[in-house]
Structure 1
Amino acid sequence: MPNPANDHALALLVRKLDSIAGLSDKERQAILRLPATTKVLQPKQDIVRDGDRPSRCCLVLEGWACRYKLLSEGRRQILSFHIPGDVPDLQSLHIHSMDHSLCAATKAVVAFIPHDALRDLINRFPNVATVLWRDTLIDAAVFRQWMTGMGRRSAYARMAHLFCEMYLKLEAVSLAGEHRCPLPLTQTDLADALGLTSVHVNRTLKELRGSGLLTLRGSTLVVDRWDELVQAAEFDPTYLHLEQRAAE
């Protein structure tokens, strides 16, 4: 019998992949027939752990997820944030042992798709493999930006850059607009992502608010002066390839 939850999950995957490079009708239908199981996760609940050998990939349906590495004494470095439509562990199709962990950053709903089903799909539809490969290349471009920020940007510019990036990613999947977007992250999350202390995060947020660039209202980010935020971050969105996605 049809499963509405699975239909919603796979339709979201179709929309995400279609936005990257375009799919044929046959490819869309094949994706919609993939087996998937959904699960509700609580904040910080692990999806897959460092050292695991997973047999399925995870598609984010609701909420946010994050990749992270846990160091000694419980210190955590967040490596990336993921929003609905993202498949943050695609590499597990080919790199069988996880070298980092993936968890829900907020309360989230995810769908699990078996590796065997995905491998069969990409063997039958090589263009789907190309689209997935392109998605991982864009993911790698985001990593390079984060590395540049951690090494060379000030805390102020680093935080401004993250806010610009997340706003545009959310806008691309119709989850943001008019320079307003959800930002359901704690100051600890921001500290772990930006390589700062919570005290430094608090001080930097106050500085950004004090400059009139943005406002935080609960879990909502409002960018009051977008062009100036972009300038403060030295933000060039080329690495997200959003214009190319839209054109295609």
Structure 2
Amino acid sequence: MDTAALDLLTAREERFPGHVDIICEGSVPRSVFVLIEGMAIRYRDLPDGSRQIITFLIPGDMCDLHVFLLKTMDHSIATLTPVRIAPVSRDSMMDLFIHHPRVSAALWWSSLQEEAMLRERIVSLGRRDARGRVAYLLCELLWRHMAVGLTNGRSFTLPLTQTELGDTLGLSAVHVNRILQDFRKQGLIVMERHKLNLIDLSGLQIIADFNESYLHFGGAPEELADYFDGLERVRQK
């Protein structure tokens, strides 16, 4: 039943080309959406013309689960590549929360994971040096792509320019280029035509002081699963 509800939720799709806004800061949110294919970003434009990329969206991510509580968007969402998204209306989301508690819990978990990534980003920007920031982001993106089956070993598609990496990590494109060149020379990475291969993942994780536990890939506690199993049995009586 839950699987059928999710399939129905993502039945309608919209397509956007690369490097366009899906929704802009100040706009009225029209729907939640699930990213089906491609890569997107959350970002803020600053008065001086610079940009801060806040986070990346990859296939399977649900964007702005609680957006219906806002009158206007406080950030923009843009595509990095051509994307397919599944928009989800407010009524559909409310129905899901009411009638599918297990799915609701999974969506809460997803929101908590996103908050954990934002906390780690704050730590990285505040306390890691430039090499550590770059290494941390590459490691995080690898682990996230691994979780949704979008890697080939330790290789995955990374359609980011050095400017976009800099906009994420508070570094200039020139500084990012130097660090990536250094990583290549050390045999840590190979990057060709937007394909990134983390040859020495352990080495990069040491540089970044990276521990993937903050991504919470282990899921929810077993007792929570037992709780929802009990709810399911009650509903079926």
Structure 2 counterpart of 1:177, one-letter code:
N
Alpha-carbon distance in 2 for matches of 1:156, 1:46? 30
Structure 2 unaligned segments of length 5 or more: list them: 226-237
The 1:79/1:35 distance shift into structure 2, 3 A limit, reads: closer
Alpha-carbon distance in 2 for matches of 1:63, 1:34? 19
Alpha-carbon distance in 2 for matches of 1:87, 1:180? 24
Alpha-carbon distance in 2 for matches of 1:97, 1:128? 26
Alpha-carbon distance in 1 for matches of 2:205, 2:152? 16
Q: In the alignment, which residue of structure 2 is the partner of 1:22?
A: none
Alpha-carbon distance in 1 for matches of 2:122, 2:158? 22
Map 1:1-248; keep pairs closer than 5 Å. 26-34=1-9, 36-244=11-219
Structure 1 counterpart of 2:3, one-letter code:
R
Q: Answer whether contact 1:35 1:117 (CA < 8 A) is retained.
A: no
Which of structure 1's runs of 4+ aligned residues deviate more than 4 A? none
TM-score by length of structure 2 reads 0.88
Alpha-carbon distance in 1 for matches of 2:4, 2:82? 30
Q: Name the SS of the counterpart of 1:67 in structure 2.
A: strand
Q: CA deviation at 1:88?
A: 2.0
Alpha-carbon distance in 2 for matches of 1:76, 1:103? 12
Q: Answer whether contact 2:10 2:86 (CA < 8 A) is retained.
A: no
Q: CA deviation at 1:69?
A: 0.6
Alpha-carbon distance in 2 for matches of 1:98, 1:236? 32
Q: Name the SS of the counterpart of 1:59 in structure 2.
A: strand
Structure 1 unaligned segments of length 5 or more: list them: 1-25
TM-score by length of structure 1 reads 0.85
Q: In the alignment, which residue of structure 2 is the partner of 1:19?
A: none
Q: CA deviation at 1:35?
A: 6.4
Alpha-carbon distance in 1 for matches of 2:127, 2:10? 44
The sequence identity of aligned pairs, in percent, is 36
Alpha-carbon distance in 2 for matches of 1:83, 1:60? 7
Q: CA deviation at 1:55?
A: 2.4
